[in-house]
Structure 1
Amino acid sequence: MSTVAHEAGVSVGLIQRYFATKAQLLEFAFSYLVDSTYGRLEAVERTGDVAETAYLMLEAMLPLDEERYAESVTWIAFLAGALPIPDAIEPHVVSMRRMRLLLESCGLSTVDAMLLTSVVDGLCVDMVTSPAEVTPELGRACLRRAVGRVFGGAG
């Protein structure tokens, strides 16, 4: 809470006025990042090329800039706190279902949408925890390869 207050330039008491617990703060932040991510997905132009549209939508989820890096850190923190509590993890389950359904609406099968969002999940974790090794360029290359393989190419 103190880190958030410091970053926001306000007192801890002000943060606690709106969020009684760290879990409430993380849930709010998670909701914000889901809306932000979903907005980027919806903004991707559907070109008629399903593979390219899928790649661009999935790329929009990668931590390729400061904002998306912070979102990925928040996502990981939310999962770490919510995972042991079945009801608390539900927002993540719902958001992933929503993202997979959006990918399916572009022409991906359920299995391919699940596979590719799983690849993105792993890349996000690796890009946040090992940024010197898993650079944005490597993250994009791995995602391009995964999408290519789903669509029958070598990627």
Structure 2
Amino acid sequence: MPRTADHDARRRQVADALLRVIVRGGLAEASLSAVAEEAGVSVGLIQRYFTTKAELLNFAFNHLLDRTYERLLAVRPVDDTTETTYLMLEALLPLDEERFTEAVVWVAFLADTLPSPTARKPHVSAMLRMHRALVSAGMSTVEAVMLTSVLDGLILDMVASPELVTPELARACLRRAVDQAFGGQT
């Protein structure tokens, strides 16, 4: 009986392997052979799904953004807009291994795409989606942009200097920023 492959699952498997390779060695180390070894597949299999490294990188980055956005949407609103906002933003902090991996990759991709407006499009689109989600939770566009900027800074600091910006400190900073955005006195 012939085997049937789940092509979407295989693409995600390769994308997840790419993310792990990037975390360990950066984008420069993300060769097809390194990704194949990490995924436990052949380079030929990867090339069956992704004809170029750029296509693989683009798929992986969008896969990462989709996972992040799903986490944001999974936060259940509570009666208090300030608390809902905090919970949504906290869900994006790199507080566990999966989110830390996503944050490292996001920083690497963002740094690599800065020179190219075309390459930045997935990031811009993701930020727009996040702003819309936050506005739909009850905040203004100004508050959404301000708070995602604080979040971006916290994520960068948690990835670049985790010994200084611990999860506890990041949560406290985020809490204060959210409270202040909504007029709180913390």
TM over 0.5: yes
Q: In 2, are the aligned partners of 1:26 and 1:74 still within 8 Å (CA)?
A: no
- Aligned partner of 1:91 in structure 2 is 122
Query: How far has the Cα of 1:21 moved from its partner?
Result: 4.2
2:68 counterpart of 1:30: no
2:140 counterpart of 1:137: no
TM-score (norm 1): 0.91
Q: Deviations over 1:85-123 (max 9, x none)?
A: 111101110110010011001110000000000111111
Q: 2:71 aligns with which of 40, 47, 69?
A: 40
2:139 counterpart of 1:111: no
- Aligned partner of 2:40 in structure 1 is 9
Q: 2:112 aligns with which of 69, 78, 81?
A: 81
More divergent stretch after superposition (36-45 vs 20-29)? 20-29
Query: How far has the Cα of 1:12 moved from its partner?
Result: 4.0
Q: Deviations over 1:123-146 (max 9, x none)?
A: 111111111111111111111111
Q: 1:64 aligns with which of 95, 104, 107?
A: 95
What root-mean-square deviation, in Å, do the aligned CA atoms of Structure 1 and Structure 2 show?
1.6
Query: How far has the Cα of 1:20 moved from its partner?
Result: 4.4
- Aligned partner of 1:128 in structure 2 is 159
Query: How far has the Cα of 1:18 moved from its partner?
Result: 3.3
Q: Equivalent residue of 2:139, what SS?
A: coil
Structure 1 residue runs without a partner (length 5+): none
Runs of 4 or more above 6 Å deviation? none
Q: Deviations over 1:58-97 (max 9, x none)?
A: 0111111000011111111111221111111011101100
Q: CA–CA distance in 2 between the matches of 1:11 and 1:151? A: 52
2:129 counterpart of 1:102: no
* Distance change (3 Å), C-alpha of 1:38 and 1:135: same
Q: Equivalent residue of 1:87, what SS?
A: helix
Report the number of matched residues.
155
Q: CA–CA distance in 2 between the matches of 1:31 and 1:5? A: 19
Indicate the structure (1 or 2) with the bigger Cα radius of gyration: 2
Q: In 2, are the aligned partners of 1:26 and 1:77 still within 8 Å (CA)?
A: no
2:182 counterpart of 1:146: no
Q: Identical aligned pairs, as a percentage?
A: 65
TM-score (norm 2): 0.77
Q: Deviations over 1:16-56 (max 9, x none)?
A: 44334443332212111111111111111111210000000
- Aligned partner of 2:83 in structure 1 is 52
More divergent stretch after superposition (13-22 vs 140-149)? 13-22
